[in-house]
């Protein structure tokens, strides 16, 4: 399917054309965010509370975001969110065009090949809003680890159990999001901003795949014929 930094950063560059054609990015399937629930605290906020089932061997925690980085992310996101639907549509179109296998999970988009047709799809627009709203919830709550954990846990479990989405698509989508932000923010997407967002995306992926592990995804996927 964001977030915070040097509290004096100014984002003055206009959005570039939202309809882009080429650069191949990586996709992920944006989820709708279900109501809340409780879960483990989120490492991005620097909370070191260990999850009870941290038996997930080989899963290395990503580096926590600093206060400055959280500020950078939230500031950047405020600018992005002004054009929430357009940016979300751009991300999904790039995702589906460059990674068409992702369309297998969306009956509404499976037969769409033309980017312009996708852009006009009310279903795709609706899904784009859901994805952007999910990211917005995370960004707005970077200082509330319980909330972030709940949101990402629900997203991961729903995509594993209900939609049967391969977790690799979340990593791919993260790459697409970073690519679109860099393109549309131009000079404003400085190395410092890019580093902050890259760390955030790594943390989101870490937590979501943790939810997959919790529900026994490896067992489920390997036993599914």
The one-digit pLDDT tens for each residue of the chain (225 residues) are: 443 333 333 333 333 333 333 333 333 444 333 333 333 333 343 433 343 344 344 578 888 889 999 999 999 999 999 999 999 999 999 999 999 999 999 988 889 999 999 999 999 999 999 999 999 999 999 998 888 888 999 999 999 999 999 999 999 999 999 999 999 987 789 999 999 999 999 999 998 999 999 999 975 554 443
Q: Tell me the domains of the chain and their CATH numbers.
A: 67-223 (1.10.490.10)
Nearest CA to 29 out of 114, 128, 112, 108 is that of 128
Task: Give how far Cα 18 sits from Cα of 24, 119, 124, Å.
Answer: 15, 11, 15
What is the spatial distance between Cα 173 and Cα 179, in angstroms, rounded to a whole number? Answer: 10
Nearest CA to 213 out of 152, 172, 134 is that of 152
Residues 6+ away with beta carbon under 8 Å from 69: 4, 5, 195, 196, 199, 200
């Amino acid at each position: 399917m964001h977030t915070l930094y040097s509290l004096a950063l100014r984002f003055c560059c206009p959005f570039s054309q939202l309809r882009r054609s080429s650069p191949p990015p990586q996709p992920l399937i944006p989820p709708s965010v279900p109501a809340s629930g409780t879960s483990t605290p989120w490492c991005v906020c620097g909370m070191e509370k260990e999850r009870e089932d941290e038996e997930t061997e080989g899963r290395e925690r990503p580096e926590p975001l600093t206060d400055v980085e959280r500020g950078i992310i939230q500031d950047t996101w405020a600018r992005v969110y002004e054009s929430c639907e357009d940016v979300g549509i751009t991300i999904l179109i790039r995702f589906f065009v460059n990674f068409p296998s992702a369309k297998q999970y969306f009956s509404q988009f499976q037969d769409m090949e033309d980017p312009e047709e996708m852009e006009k799809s009310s279903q795709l627009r609706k899904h784009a809003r859901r994805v952007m709203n999910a990211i917005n919830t995370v960004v707005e709550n970077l200082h509330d680890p319980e909330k972030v954990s709940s949101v990402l846990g629900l997203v991961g479990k729903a995509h594993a159990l209900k939609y049967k989405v391969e977790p690799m698509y979340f990593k791919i989508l993260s790459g697409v999001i970073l690519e679109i932000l860099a393109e549309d923010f131009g000079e404003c997407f400085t190395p410092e901003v890019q580093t902050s967002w890259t760390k955030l995306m790594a943390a989101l992926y870490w937590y979501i795949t943790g939810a997959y592990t919790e529900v026994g995804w490896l067992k489920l996927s390997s036993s599914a014929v």
